[in-house]
Structure 1
């Protein structure tokens, strides 16, 4: 009898262990949580790139996400300025610069009286290369991201890894608690690097990737993937609206990158080609294995920003053959990235979203050529006019401390010295500059802080206005007027060409569908938090898009 009791005890113990293991192995399935969340941001991607180039895409990239996932077709940024750093921060925090504090890629710091970079941090050092390009962290971002909230929820067991060509595209999405953020250092290296904010040495898998000479592989001719004559969705290859590369007389295909690299920053030339996205995809695929992402029942997050689309757009413009080829090739990179997720994490085990940090305007010179109102602003001449007015009105030009990001910063010490009322000077500036050609609107910081706007550009400006960091006067240019060179595209406004971007959801917990209902960029983070069952990011103002869930 004693032996029988012992035997039954062992059987019960084995059954109990197996039952516990079954519960653990099915934890994600029963809770509906994915093993891995992947956030993809395509830098400077207009919504119409999904539709304009649709027939050139294969079945496994953009089309797979559109045809098997959920497509929010009327997705917009809900603040100004529409720049890279605020865009990435807003996607992942679920709020706007008013709260997260990233008011530009760089901005004038009123306390230390100089420009600061969104991710710059001189308290940390580069890891992977001896360069100031590695002195970066998310310390200027004031609120949490949904990636932070997942780390907190999982007691820091769920990993977060951020990857991009740009440091800010890797750092801000990954949040404050990330295990790592990696960005591309070109020049003479062609390496992915990080900072001591995250680690003291690069992991073996990153060193292996860097020493594999993968970047050197892409220093090759860049030609169109298909016959250039079939690229009917973009303008002529030879035109007056594109920048190009030093060392090549015309901005036309093909580009021999090996020949051109020495005059264009060494490996940095890859950033402004379609191959910049390819090396990011290579690195992201390596990260899945290297970091063992999605290999257990605790949700990990991988953030990937494809930034070369932005460099190409700035250089060649949104209507260029180069942009079309870049998106056709990005589609292939997305296809192999999704296949890698299927193989390494398992189809049905991950959830993914794809969006952009901003869109872009057509090259104004091109718009002028087809009789659409557009043009250019001479910023230096404009600043001189601001100073001249202040000298005439108040007897000194020292009242203006800085002009940047379409904002005027006043010298508060000088105002006090001259016993001038701040609001009076702000209003005087607004009443003056609103008369200037191609300044469409102007507002005081006082009005931004005391008036509750509910419609129009005023609402977007207010959501981008941070009381401690923004300027004393904000102004807006006429539509399609930019302070930029005569070639290439840029962004930053409240107009649809800058705010309308894709939003695709795909994978575990996401149903197939589409909507023209307006969604906002700040809805993404709460949606992912709702999917994961975590707290919303600390400053989130968006709403979960429950109609995307199964």
Structure 2
């Protein structure tokens, strides 16, 4: 029977006709390779602030000779790494992907769930802890790479990142993910994808590439006066000392897990990630034939730097400049190995970053830090007073309260009644801006209320909690230098850049774009359907 090949041929012809008729794309040869760069934790405001200090052909390749969507945003409320990476190539927000956060509480069992955790898969050649990320089993929708591999079985889809979730979620169900191993300084995949690493991965790791950075110094790229627009080093509110130059592994006698882990909050782990991507292009022959391939590269260093010292720090400022130069060198290699006119590059971020509360306070804004345990205690105290039951809220999970089902059953209490009371108790706390219950989010009954749509896009009925909440602007949980995870512009507004002369007309685009638009845009260029869960729209890249 040859029905399947004939059906595939018919689908290919139909897609070609659709592509030719689409006003969003020019009729041109498909790219041999699509490269998606994700700079973890890069807010758009940093790209704008330091544009004059960029190298000629790093980020400036996009800004000067590509498309720059100046108003690109995430359309949901809890802006964290896993949720963002799940959106990028699915075109779907958490209410469809099921990736509501980096981790969450299983409502039925009370157990912690990690976004890319999978007890059936383990790292290759490395110990695997119970909550380590090893597969995309929690991702409820398909990715662009999944669709491409269905249409083109010879297509290769590969993702690499300093974080497991930064590789696994863009790789999707049918791609291959490699993640940085902080115990060894190498990269590994998991048994979900393969039994053993291919030879090129073994060769890369065998060379101990991270060791070349042992006792290397992270030095400022520019003269001191160039950093006048960012905060000086060693601010009193930094959770750990932060000052350049910074020597890697300064207290260690030899490279080891402590040193390898510390590389993540520096430009050196990003250099390693890009080196591994170079090895993948050569080892897998990405972009070498007429079948399109996808390579997703998630660069994690900026997020680690911003968490420790904030996006307003000189360390973050300089880190972005180092990363810009690393990208320039990588583009030169892509031009040489794949061919300048044969690949399409897109760069974005998985979320932005809020200014540290101390920075906002110095600017005269209402800002502060909040203790999650104290907030939970206050809500539970209010509920106990009303229902004569202690600890009715079991936990905080992915920016939501989870109500204890066992307590409800034992005491004959109704979930909706307790959720309504928990919402009232939350809103009585000044740092809380909005809160909505499971019933309200499921029904859409509060449409038009403050932050409701963004919070509804964050909430998934199967895995989210019972009362979703958002803090007031410029407030955060914890004592990190800074963080993200809000529905406000500093967290939702990220760069969205594209380059590829055959497919992209150069120039800024001022209209609002959604990060969910990336997947259907790339699908149109590749001549395949958008992923089934997609809720974005194709962006106009060509004239």
> TM-score normalised to the size of structure 2?
0.91
SS in 1 for 2:469: strand
The residue aligned with 1:515 is 509
Matched, 1:238 2:234: yes
- TM superposition shift of 1:221: 1.4
The residue aligned with 1:313 is 306
SS in 1 for 2:89: helix
Select 1:226's aligned residue among 219, 222, 225.
222
The residue aligned with 2:470 is 476
Q: Which residues of 2 match residues 331-370 of structure 1 at below 5 A?
A: 331-370=324-363
**Paired positions, count:** 512
Deviations 1:16-56 (A, max 9, x none): xxxxxxxxxxxxx9752100011111100010221111121
Stretch moving more, 259-268 or 209-218: 259-268
The residue aligned with 1:13 is none
The residue aligned with 1:3 is none
Distance in 2, matches of 1:236 and 1:153, equals 52
Q: Which residues of 2 match residues 138-149 of structure 1 at below 5 A?
A: 138-149=136-147
Contact 2:213/2:268 (8 A) holds in 1: yes
Distance in 2, matches of 1:162 and 1:522, equals 18
Contact 1:138/1:176 (8 A) holds in 2: yes
The residue aligned with 2:36 is 39
The residue aligned with 2:210 is 215
Matched, 1:197 2:195: no
Change beyond 3 A, Cα 1:205–1:454:
farther
Distance in 2, matches of 1:205 and 1:308, equals 24
The residue aligned with 1:440 is 433
Distance in 2, matches of 1:66 and 1:369, equals 32
Deviations 1:228-261 (A, max 9, x none): 33222311123223233xxxxx421121113145
Distance in 2, matches of 1:327 and 1:540, equals 31
The residue aligned with 1:15 is none
SS in 2 for 1:182: strand
Change beyond 3 A, Cα 1:281–1:261:
farther
Change beyond 3 A, Cα 1:356–1:103:
same
SS in 1 for 2:249: helix
- TM superposition shift of 1:134: 6.2
- TM superposition shift of 1:478: 1.2
Select 1:67's aligned residue among 59, 64, 69.
64
Deviations 1:331-362 (A, max 9, x none): 11111111111111101101111000000011
Q: Which residues of 2 match residues 322-471 of structure 1 at below 5 A?
A: 322-451=315-444, 453=447, 456-471=450-465
Select 2:111's aligned residue among 114, 122, 126.
114
The residue aligned with 2:178 is 182
Change beyond 3 A, Cα 1:319–1:112:
same
- TM superposition shift of 1:398: 4.2
Contact 1:221/1:258 (8 A) holds in 2: no
Query: Could you say which structure has the larger radius of gyration?
Result: 1
The residue aligned with 2:527 is 533
The residue aligned with 2:16 is none
- TM superposition shift of 1:511: 1.2
Matched, 1:492 2:485: yes
The residue aligned with 2:289 is 296
SS in 2 for 1:266: helix
Change beyond 3 A, Cα 1:101–1:157:
same
> TM-score normalised to the size of structure 1?
0.90
SS in 1 for 2:435: strand
SS in 1 for 2:101: coil
Stretch moving more, 292-301 or 368-377: 368-377
- Where structure 2 has 5 or more consecutive residues not aligned to the other structure, the ranges are 1-25
- TM superposition shift of 1:455: 6.8
Contact 2:517/2:537 (8 A) holds in 1: yes
Stretch moving more, 365-374 or 70-79: 365-374
Contact 1:241/1:366 (8 A) holds in 2: no
Distance in 1, matches of 2:29 and 2:449, equals 38
The residue aligned with 1:206 is 201
Stretch moving more, 292-301 or 434-443: 434-443
- TM superposition shift of 1:283: 1.0
Contact 1:124/1:196 (8 A) holds in 2: yes
Stretch moving more, 409-418 or 531-540: 409-418
SS in 1 for 2:454: helix
- TM superposition shift of 1:199: 0.9
SS in 1 for 2:280: helix
Distance in 2, matches of 1:454 and 1:534, equals 35
The residue aligned with 2:51 is 54
Contact 2:38/2:299 (8 A) holds in 1: yes
Distance in 2, matches of 1:211 and 1:321, equals 35
Matched, 1:256 2:247: yes
Deviations 1:455-504 (A, max 9, x none): 7411000011101111111122111110020x511000000000000000
- TM superposition shift of 1:264: 8.0
- Where structure 1 has 5 or more consecutive residues not aligned to the other structure, the ranges are 1-28, 245-249
Contact 2:32/2:293 (8 A) holds in 1: yes
Change beyond 3 A, Cα 1:316–1:341:
same
Change beyond 3 A, Cα 1:474–1:135:
closer
- TM superposition shift of 1:442: 1.4
- TM superposition shift of 1:127: 0.8
